[in-house]
């Protein structure tokens, strides 16, 4: 019998597996696709590898301004793709070795919970080979962790289903040629990253977004700035897609006028949903009705802050909970779940597990592309909605020596800090500009540890860096 069976080998699942196995637990990891999940195979890694190639291409085109001469600058899409595929393969091999060295047993197949653990009875999990309805094996475990991840949302837009010109983010990663014209439905992070990627390669890109601004969770001022930085992309905001015919998207604009736009390809990027079927949620009696945050109902497996589901002996982590659909959130949720499972397996009470609780208030996010952006904590709009009195400072990137040294186009981007008006606690940090994804963790640490502006002012940052703007913003707030 296993101590723990983990369903799903993405960031949430594989990190939890490693943590448990390192603590001498007998772990089975069931993965129906490829180890690494969406992140490694279809998400974070392939997109960032492609974006890095595109960034190099862009820099080479701009190089003359920096005194570097180059001729015949071009790109080879097939080689860019090959490099991306090699990178994914290499990282998948590293992951396979890491799990092997940690003595995690990995089996290929779909895992389905048949019955939850109860009293002395173990959980039963069946393993199915791809496409088969006959179980290939049946396993027993004291505990189960569900990390089944998420899948793209396919809205019921007439003409979208079975249209060979409409693709999701997984398909578009592997297209053979770069389209001349691309329409992207959805101006969230995934849509915007692909927009930046193809636009930098010369594709005429149109993004159709239903909301009044792109990236709905981003600080509004920063989102507007980010959109304006992406000069070559056409953004149609406040527009509702009505139907698709071939490569033509018909939409109603914000004035109620019927319009359309035509392209070679259409990317559907309207969001992702937790995978709630195929792993036995109903058989195990797991609550998948989702969580209400503010006025928003988020679908997904319901867990407490130790990632326990409503069924004793079964935990869930990552995108399947719908709470924060990011790889680093999945890592942390997996870690929290593993710590709690260890406590329970070792006979302790998970009530004792006070240090390992999932917190959602300081999870950073990032957008990559020719221009980068990142943020953590509260936006100005969220603070207003919660009735929190704030002070704010927004500093343009051009006050950073490193930014000016490395960028010929002045005035692009800014760093914004939000603090509590009374006690001056840092509540939010948001940046549009280079390196933001690399330094935003610092903002998370400031928020987690409840730093005040006067404490940030005393920190010493390396010079010249873009991150120095954090210190400058604290000084600007305390003026
Ligand atoms: C295009 C794109 C770009 C992204 N970029 C970023 C980024 O830059 N940064 C970031 O933080 N996040 C990014 N994400 C999101 C990130 O990929 C996810 O948040 C992360 O992968 C979630 O990890 P997970 O372990 O919860 O699930 P997943 O990575 O989705 O893994 C779940 C795994 O479970 C398997 N599975 C499902 N059901 C079963 C079953 N019944 N039996 C066996 N196996 C099963 C699936 O095959 C899958 O491999 C991106 C996503 C996309 C689509």
- Checking if the pLDDT of 411 tops 60, the result is no
Nearest CA to ligand 1 atom 20: 327
Half-sphere exposure in the Cβ direction for 147 (13 Å, CA): 39
Q: State the chain's mean pLDDT as an integer.
A: 95
Please say whether the dihedral angle defined by the alpha carbons of residues 235, 239, 244 and 250, taken in this order, is positive or negative.
negative
- Beta strand 234-237 with 272-274: parallel, antiparallel or unpaired? unpaired
pLDDT at 369: 83
Percent of residues, the chain, with pLDDT higher than 90: 91
Using CB atoms within 10 Å of the CB of residue 368, give its burial: 0 to 12 exposed, 13 to 18 middle, 19+ buried: buried
Percent of the residues in the chain that have a pLDDT greater than 70, as a whole number = 98
Residue 410 has pLDDT above 70, yes or no: no
| Fold match, 2-151+274-352 / 372-477 | no
- Residue 421: other Cβ atoms inside 10 A: 15
Pocket test for ligand 1, best of 9, 16, 34, 38 (most atoms within 8 A of CB): 38
Q: Give residue 350's pLDDT.
A: 57
CB count within 10 Å of CB 445 equals 14
In the chain, where the domains are located: 2-151+274-352, 166-270, 372-477
Residues 123, 42 contacting (CB under 8 angstroms)? no
46 Cα–ligand 1 center, Å: 12
Q: Is 463 a catalytic residue?
A: yes
Are the CB atoms for 392 and 380 separated by under 8 Å? yes
Mean pLDDT of 143-169: 97
CA torsion through residues 55, 59, 61, 62, sign:
positive
Report how far ligand 1's centroid is from the alpha carbon of 150 (Å).
Answer: 6
Residue scoring higher pLDDT (292 or 181):
181
- Confidence band of 254 (pLDDT split at 50, 70, 90): very high
Among 80, 18, 15, residue whose Cα is nearest residue 53: 80
pLDDT value of residue 469: 97
pLDDT (mean) for 161-189: 97
3-state secondary structure of 348: coil
What CATH number labels 166-270?
3.50.50.60
Average pLDDT over residues 4-19: 98
* Sign of the C-alpha dihedral computed for residues 161, 165, 166 and 170 taken in this order: positive
Is 422 exposed, middle or buried (CB count within 10 Å of its CB: 0-12, 13-18, 19+)? exposed
**How many Å apart are CA 154 and CA 177, to the nearest integer?**
24
Q: Which of the following CATH numbers is that of domain 2-151+274-352: 3.40.30.10, 3.50.50.60, 3.40.50.300, 3.30.70.360? A: 3.50.50.60
- Within 10 angstroms of residue 214's Cβ, the number of other Cβ atoms is 24
Query: Cα dist. 298→149, 317, 322, 359, 382 in Å?
Result: 14, 15, 6, 16, 17
Contact present, 195 and 183 (Cβ < 8 Å): no
Query: For residues 434 and 133, what is the distance between their CA atoms, to the nearest angstrom?
Result: 50
Q: What is the pLDDT of residues 413-451, one digit of tens each?
A: 999 999 999 999 999 999 999 999 999 999 999 999 999
Q: Are 92 and 39 in contact (CB under 8 A)?
A: no
* Rounded average pLDDT over 6-26: 97
| pLDDT on residue 179 | 98
User: What does the chain come to in residues?
Assistant: 479
DSSP symbols for 212-226 = SSSSTTS-HHHHHHH
User: For position 292, what pLDDT does the model report?
Assistant: 87
Pocket test for ligand 1, best of 28, 47, 270, 327 (most atoms within 8 A of CB): 327
Confidence (pLDDT) at 318 = 98
Does pLDDT of 479 surpass 80? no
Is pLDDT of 34 > 90?
A: yes
The 10s digit of each residue's pLDDT in 337-363 is 999 999 999 887 655 666 789 999 999
Long-range CB contact pairs, 54-61, < 8 A, 24+? 54/80, 54/196, 54/197, 54/200, 54/201, 54/370, 55/200, 55/369, 55/370, 57/200, 57/201, 58/200, 58/370
Q: What is the pLDDT of residues 94-144, one digit of tens each?
A: 999 999 999 999 999 999 999 999 989 999 999 999 888 899 999 999 999
C-alpha radius of gyration, the chain, whole number? 24
The model's pTM is 0.96
Under DSSP, is residue 192 helix (H, G, I), strand (E, B) or coil? helix
Give nearest CA residue, ligand 1 atom 41.
279
pLDDT band at 221; cut points 50, 70, 90: very high
Q: Which residues lie with the beta carbon below 6 Å from any ligand 1 atom?
A: 7-13, 30-33, 37-39, 42-44, 47, 110-111, 147-150, 169, 190, 275, 278-279, 318-320, 325-328, 330
**Domain spanning 372-477, CATH architecture:** 2-Layer Sandwich (3.30)
Interval 190-206: pLDDT, tens? 999 999 999 999 999 99
Given the DSSP bridges, would you call strands 426-432 and 414-420 parallel, antiparallel or unpaired? Answer: antiparallel
């Amino acid at each position: 019998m296993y101590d723990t069976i983990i369903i799903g080998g993405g960031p949430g699942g594989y990190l939890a597996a490693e943590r448990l196995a390192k603590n001498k637990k007998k772990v089975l990891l069931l993965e129906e696709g490829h180890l690494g999940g969406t992140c490694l195979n279809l998400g974070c890694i392939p997109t960032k590898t492609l974006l890095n190639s595109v960034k190099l291409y862009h820099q080479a085109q701009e190089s003359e301004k920096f005194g570097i001469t180059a001729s015949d600058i071009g790109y080879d899409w097939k080689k860019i793709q090959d490099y991306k595929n090699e990178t994914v393969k290499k990282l998948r091999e590293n992951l396979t070795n890491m799990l092997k060295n940690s003595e995690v047993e990995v089996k290929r197949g779909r895992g389905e919970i048949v019955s939850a653990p109860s009293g002395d009875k173990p959980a039963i999990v069946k393993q199915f080979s791809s496409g088969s309805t006959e179980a290939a094996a049946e396993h027993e475990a004291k505990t189960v962790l569900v990390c089944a991840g998420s899948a793209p949302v396919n809205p019921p837009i007439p003409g979208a289903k079975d249209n060979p010109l409409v693709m999701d983010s997984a398909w578009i990663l592997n297209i053979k040629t770069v389209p001349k014209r691309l329409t992207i439905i959805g101006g969230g992070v995934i849509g915007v990253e692909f927009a930046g990627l193809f636009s930098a390669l010369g594709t005429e890109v149109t993004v159709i977004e239903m909301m009044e601004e792109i990236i709905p969770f981003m600080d509004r001022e920063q989102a507007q700035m980010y959109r304006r930085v992406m000069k070559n992309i056409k953004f149609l905001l406040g527009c509702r897609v009505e139907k698709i015919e071939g490569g033509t998207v018909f939409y109603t604009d914000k004035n109620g006028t019927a319009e359309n736009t035509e392209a070679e390809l259409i990317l559907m990027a309207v969001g992702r949903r937790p995978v709630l079927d195929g792993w036995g949620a109903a058989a195990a009696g797991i609550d998948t009705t989702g969580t209400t945050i503010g006025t928003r109902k988020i679908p997904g497996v319901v867990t407490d802050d130790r990632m326990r589901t409503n069924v004793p002996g079964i935990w869930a982590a990552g995108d399947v909970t719908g709470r924060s659909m990011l790889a680093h959130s999945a890592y942390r949720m997996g870690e929290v779940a593993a710590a709690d499972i260890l406590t329970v397996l070792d006979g302790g009470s998970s009530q004792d597990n006070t240090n390992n609780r999932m917190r959602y208030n300081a999870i950073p996010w990032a957008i990559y592309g020719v221009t980068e952006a990142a943020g953590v904590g509260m936006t100005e709009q969220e603070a207003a909605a919660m009735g929190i009195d704030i002070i704010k400072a927004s500093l343009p990137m051009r006050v950073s020596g490193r930014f000016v040294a490395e960028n010929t186009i002045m005035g692009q981007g800014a760093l914004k800090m939000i603090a509590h008006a009374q006690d001056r606690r840092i509540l939010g940090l948001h940046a549009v500009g280079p390196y933001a994804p690399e330094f935003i963790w610092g903002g998370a640490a400031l928020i987690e540890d409840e730093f005040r502006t006067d404490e940030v002012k005393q920190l010493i940052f390396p010079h010249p860096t873009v991150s120095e703007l954090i210190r400058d913003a604290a000084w600007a707030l305390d003026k």
